[in-house]
Amino acid sequence: MSYSLKDRTAVITGASAGIGEALATEFAARGCNLHLVARRREKLEQLARQLSEKYGIQTWIHAMDLSQPEAAAQLAAGLRQQPVTVVVNNAGIGMTGPFHTQDAGVIATMLNLNIRFLTEFCHIMVPVLKASGDTCRILNVGSVAGYQGVHNFMPYAATKAYVNNLSEGLNWELHGSNITVTCLQPGSTRSEFFDNAAMEGSFMATYDVMTSGAVARAGVTAMMAGKAFIVPGITNKIKIFSLRFTPRALLRRVIYWMFRDLAREH
């Protein structure tokens, strides 16, 4: 029997915009009740109202900063009244520019959100999902940037390499259990991320950019099928496949050219 999201309950982090908002819409369209998590309460309230009215689902909002210590434990505690069987770790931030000029505080926040929170939340939720007695899913949002070092985008790419690898390892470790882990690895995607990471107008923000909706649909479809990972978009698939045959020296030159216009200092 194929996996169904109808009448199940999911938690989605970073749900107020971009891929997170698109994921929430995809889940809601399939009849899944939602815990929506992000910093901006007003955006969450608006999205929760829209999805509830359009799809007849239940929604709960959790306005919180997931980069803060104990955020994973606090969120998990907030889910106890309406337990979940699907976990979506989408929240993340990025920043561009030469590494030595990037704001140290933003880098610390990035590490806390992109790596620490995701790790701690998975660590807390895996036993909860195992004990649920249901068939469960985890969807982590990594990136094609995590397949190699990326100059002028270095800390972000490194955090996504961690997410890609953690997700793959966790998928293997949980093989045969009631949980599957899928890593969604998008390339350039139209969202607020470009503005927040100071990428607007750059090559990466204008060439072969996918919509958040298309990325979300690919991720949800792969998750429901229990796939270990999904790279959405034919161009992105070709890029990742070609890495197997591309000498690292040549790859560095290609990456340099693609990200050269992100060298502006902040």
Is 35:88 a contact under the CB 8 Å cutoff? no
Domain boundaries, the chain: 9-262
pLDDT value of position 148 = 85
pLDDT value of position 17 = 95
Closest residue by Cα to residue 155 from 102, 192, 195:
102
pLDDT value of position 234 = 80
How many other CB atoms are found less than 10 A from the CB of residue 164?
20
**Residue whose token pair is 């926040």:** 109
How many angstroms separate the Cα of 266 from the Cα of each of 198, 202, 206, 261?
9, 15, 21, 13
Q: What is the Cα–Cα distance from 93 to 250, expressed in whole angstroms?
A: 28
Question: Per-residue confidence of the chain (266 residues) as pLDDT tens digits?
Answer: 589 999 999 999 999 999 999 999 999 999 999 999 999 999 999 999 999 999 999 999 999 999 999 999 999 999 999 999 999 999 999 998 989 999 999 999 999 999 999 999 999 999 999 999 999 999 999 999 988 888 888 899 999 999 999 999 999 999 999 999 999 999 988 765 545 544 455 444 445 789 999 999 999 999 999 999 999 988 877 777 666 655 666 555 555 556 565 555 44
Would residue 156 show up in a list of annotated catalytic residues for this protein?
yes
Model's pTM, two decimal places? 0.86
Q: Which helix (H) or strand (E) holds 122?
A: helix 118-130
Instruction: Tell me which of 156, 162, 207, 256 is the catalytic residue.
Output: 156
Both structure tokens of 64:
């919180």
Domain at 9-262: CATH code: 3.40.50.720
pLDDT value of position 203 = 47
Q: Computed over its alpha carbons, how large is the radius of gyration of the chain?
A: 18
